[in-house]
Amino acid sequence: MTVIVRDLRLDDPRDTEGFARVRRAAVPFMLATAESVAFVVTRAHPESRWRLLVAEEDGEIIGTAQVHTDHESVEPGVGQANVYVHPERQGRGAGSLIVDTAERHLADGGVTTAYTWVFDEPANRAFAERRGYRPSRSAHFLRLELAGGTLPPLQQPPEGVEIVPATAFEDDPRPLYELDAETTADEPGDVDVEFSDYGHWLATTWGHPLLDRELTSVAVADGRPVAFTAAYTDGSTRYSTAMTGTARAYRGRGLAKLAKNDSLHRARAAGLTEAFTGNDTGNGPMLAINTWFGYRICATEVRYVRELG
């Protein structure tokens, strides 16, 4: 049996569903649909050089890679290649082949520093380290049982603050873009990111097929959004927090916590049964908040980095 690596065929539903199927099997804590798989490439910024790769064996997709340059990074030459092989199809060489192809693509585009996420398991970490990657940080996946679980009771927002769904901004989403840009710039991570393209944000964030604007909750004060939690849903029963943040001038008041609690309560009322989120392992305050909501750690990934060339 021969494994080959090729580009995903966006016009073939078997390919996009096959890609999503592998991602769901390999990382069940992240939402993936055929539509969302195709969306990231068709709406990607040209400078990001997005490429979706698949490893195929006898006509079956058994591995995937999302490869791109971090065009919004404040540092040049940064890229990412996240590779996942179906748990039941490992040991066939798919991982090595797909990583080789991904690294060549990054290097050809001028990337000198490549990042990847690896599950915190001995075999996966050994694979990355044999290829010259070194660990830089780690993050937890967390899961919350919505159906039959217990959420903290809803609380009234403080005077002058209102919690509204993101649909309240459909006529003019720019204030949410500005809030997202500010909070993302302060998010801990390996790569500092700076938003500078509102049109691109509209196409890729506001227009993302997994974004549930009705379940995305926003805290509004002084006539503008000041905190939010962005909700992804898969069209079935699963919910995921895509981003939570607060404007710098409004931090320390618990507004993001209020927004997230509002969103989770409405998600449960809408029939969603489980929720996922992620946190850096060193982000104690956010981990404490998610524990308060009832989330429990279900897996850990390690961020690895390698200098190319």
Residue 288 to residue 283: CA distance in whole angstroms:
9
Residue range 105-120: mean pLDDT, rounded: 96
Give backbone dihedrals phi and psi of 8, rounded to 5 degrees, phi first.
-65, 135
Residues of the chain with pLDDT > 70: what percent?
97
CB atoms within 10 A of CB 122: 8
Ramachandran sector of residue 112 (left: φ over 0; alpha: ψ -120 to 50; beta: rest): alpha
Segment (H or E) for 217: strand 217-221
Give the pLDDT confidence score for residue 3 in this predicted structure.
Answer: 95
pLDDT category at 193 given cuts 50, 70, 90 is: low
Q: Answer yes or no: is pLDDT of 226 > 60.
A: yes
Closest CA to 182 of 115, 256, 253: 256
Give the pLDDT confidence score for residue 71 in this predicted structure.
Answer: 83
Residue 123 to residue 98: CA distance in whole angstroms:
17
Residue range 173-194: mean pLDDT, rounded: 82
| Domain segments of the chain as ranges | 3-111, 144-300
Give the pLDDT confidence score for residue 286 in this predicted structure.
Answer: 84
Contact yes or no for 245/256 (Cβ under 8 A)? yes
CA 59 to centroid of chain Cα atoms: 28
Task: Give the residue ranges of DSSP H helices in 168-254.
Answer: 174-185, 198-201
Q: Answer yes or no: is pLDDT of 63 > 60.
A: yes
Residues 6+ apart with CB under 8 A from 271: 237
Residues of the chain with pLDDT > 90: what percent?
86
Q: Is the dihedral of CA 107, 189, 218, 181 positive or negative?
A: negative
pLDDT category at 194 given cuts 50, 70, 90 is: low
| Residues 246-295 pLDDT 10s | 999 999 999 999 999 999 999 999 999 999 999 999 988 889 989 999 99
- Looking only at the bridges linking them, the beta strands covering 161-165 and 3-7 are unpaired
Residue 214 to residue 237: CA distance in whole angstroms:
15
pLDDT category at 149 given cuts 50, 70, 90 is: confident
Tell me the two tokens of residue 293.
């909501």
Give the pLDDT confidence score for residue 187 in this predicted structure.
Answer: 73
Give the pLDDT confidence score for residue 220 in this predicted structure.
Answer: 98
Bridge partners of 235, per DSSP, are: none
Give the pLDDT confidence score for residue 216 in this predicted structure.
Answer: 98
Q: Is the dihedral of CA 79, 85, 86, 87 positive or negative?
A: negative
The CATH number of domain 3-111, selected from 3.40.50.460, 3.30.1360.80, 3.30.310.80, 3.40.630.30: 3.40.630.30
Tell me the two tokens of residue 121.
């398991």
Average pLDDT, the chain: 94
For domain 144-300, the CATH architecture is 3-Layer(aba) Sandwich (3.40)
Residue range 69-96: mean pLDDT, rounded: 92
Going edge to edge, which strands form the sheet with 78-85?
3-7, 51-57, 60-69, 78-85, 113-119, 296-307, 134-145, 274-280, 238-246, 224-233, 217-221, 161-165
Give the pLDDT confidence score for residue 188 in this predicted structure.
Answer: 63
Q: Can you give the pTM of this predicted structure?
A: 0.91
pLDDT category at 20 given cuts 50, 70, 90 is: very high
